[in-house]
Amino acid sequence: MRRESCLASLVLLSAFSAGCVRPSHGAGDAAQSARKANANTGGRAGANVNAAATPPRGFADADYARHVAQLRKKLPSGEFEIVIEKPFVVVGDGGRRAVEGHASGVVRWAVELLKRDFFEKDPADILDVWLFKDSASYRTHARRLFGREPSTPYGYYSPAHKALVMNIETGGGTLVHEIVHPFVEANFPDCPPWLNEGLGSLYEQSGERDGHIVGYTNWRLPGLQRAVRRRQLKPFRELLALDGRAFYDDAAGTNYAQARYLCYYLQERGLLTRFYKEFHGNSAADPAGFETLKRVLAEPDMDAFQRKWEKFVLELSE
């Protein structure tokens, strides 16, 4: 699925952990891949509860039952259905089958694969995944439930409301993107915005390769290629060091795209999970990840690397 680049206005965040409120596209085919993956593995479509082998940290069935009982009191109408998909609770107004399909397809698939490669801990709270069936439902209910109009038409993660809030009509890709953020928050609280958003946006268009999640080229590529040709990109040393406010102050989405395709490059070289783990272990000494990046890439001259990476980007196609 292709879309025009989104140039929605940005909300400046004082810290990335305040949430991902940014232009985002549900351009992924993750849902389709997940359905395929589910079919291939005899997926448990229709199951209400994910009885996964690894129990989520700290929450028992009784905790989920209490959470669901509280959530029921907040439901805006009888149209909403609730499905427990640990470590999340999925709630939506698109009909029971659709909500179950997204829960057992996209959410379960993304959680399993992201945990396989990156994350050990579940989020510290039971988070709700609100799947609104269309733009009108998304806007109306986000305002009513969370007190403000969404700044993106696709979806966002609100740590304050312990909720992922989606217009699911735009596709499952945004949902995978947003699922990355609470896992980063739980596992790598000092993660800089470039990697948090690089990983999130990498997987907004994703599938599965040899049992691992893999990001594909997507709608962010043409804008990035234009920025490369116009020599508008920041040196990686600068991009990696941006704090939340500076990273998100990016109306054209160039920071997102540059971070995404750095992650994509690492992925295609088989280095992304290694980079994540080494950076996670070394972030006190190297808070931006630049030194770890140099080491993992085995690129002592990062100016030369940037030229190599730019050539790689220009040769990619959507």
Q: How far is the CB of 26 from Zn ion (least distance, A)?
A: 12
CB 177 within 8 A of CB 200: yes
State which residue, 20 or 114, has the beta carbon closest to Zn ion: 20
Q: How far is the CB of 165 from Zn ion (least distance, A)?
A: 13
Q: Which residue's CB atom is positioned nearest to Zn ion?
A: 20
Which pair of structure tokens corresponds to residue 178? 């947003």
Q: How far is the CB of 201 from Zn ion (least distance, A)?
A: 6
State which residue, 200 or 207, has the beta carbon closest to Zn ion: 200
* Residue 167, helix vs strand vs coil: strand
Q: How far is the CB of 19 from Zn ion (least distance, A)?
A: 9
Name the strand (E) or helix (H) holding 128: strand 127-132
State which residue, 28 or 101, has the beta carbon closest to Zn ion: 28
Read off φ and ψ for residue 13, nearest 5 degrees: -115, 140
Which pair of structure tokens corresponds to residue 293? 């990046």
**Positive or negative: CA dihedral 298, 300, 306, 310:** negative
State which residue, 20 or 221, has the beta carbon closest to Zn ion: 20
State which residue, 37 or 165, has the beta carbon closest to Zn ion: 165
State which residue, 94 or 200, has the beta carbon closest to Zn ion: 200
CB 275 within 8 A of CB 292: yes
Q: Which residues form the interface with Zn ion (CB under 5 A)? A: 20, 197, 200
Q: How far is the CB of 260 from Zn ion (least distance, A)?
A: 10
* Residue 227, helix vs strand vs coil: helix
CB 106 within 8 A of CB 114: no
User: Omega before 123 cis (within 30°)?
Assistant: no
Q: How far is the CB of 210 from Zn ion (least distance, A)?
A: 26
Q: For residue 61, give every residue at least 6 positions away whose Cβ sits within 8 Å of its Cβ, in sequence order, or none.
A: 49
